[in-house]
Amino acid sequence: MFQIVESPIDAEAVRRAVEGPANGAVVVFHGTVRDHTADRRVTHLEYEAYVPMAEAALATIGAEVVARHGLTALACVHRTGRLEIGEDAVVVATSSPHRRAALEAVEDYVRRLKADVPIWKKEHFEGGAVWIGTPEDPQGRGPASKG
């Protein structure tokens, strides 16, 4: 399961997508909208994506991470549109025979997702808005700071 959706993410469905009897570990990561970045109070986020390319990239990265970490499965759903504070922007689930692989794979996958998938984040804050990864980005980390 590798999807871009416009409605709230069904995290339980993402978890179910990686279930199996060979698993000793299932890890589910929720990337949520926080209420601040640097010294700015965030009011909401907007995500945009080129969906066909983004879903293909999610799946390609997923296959690479599964192979690298010896996972049983990996699934990811990322949301687009307007998201409010506390909502899930992304849910990633991994499963493997042992916990270490499942845990490390989440970090590996999310890092790659943020750097390589055509999903763009606009942060709205009190007094303005900025696309993350631009020179105006208060995090100042460039393009890899999308998520």
pTM, to two decimals: 0.89
Would you state the pLDDT for residue 141?
Answer: 53
In order of start, what are the domains of the chain with their CATH numbers? 2-34+47-119 (3.90.1170.40)
pLDDT tens digits, 115-142: 999 999 999 998 888 888 776 666 655 4
Q: Which of 78, 86, 85, 80 is nearest to 126 (CA)?
A: 85
Token pair for residue 9? Answer: 């993410």
All residues at 6 or more sequence positions from 135 whose CB lies less than 8 Å from its CB, including other chains: none
Closest C-alpha among 60, 69, 56 to residue 95: 69
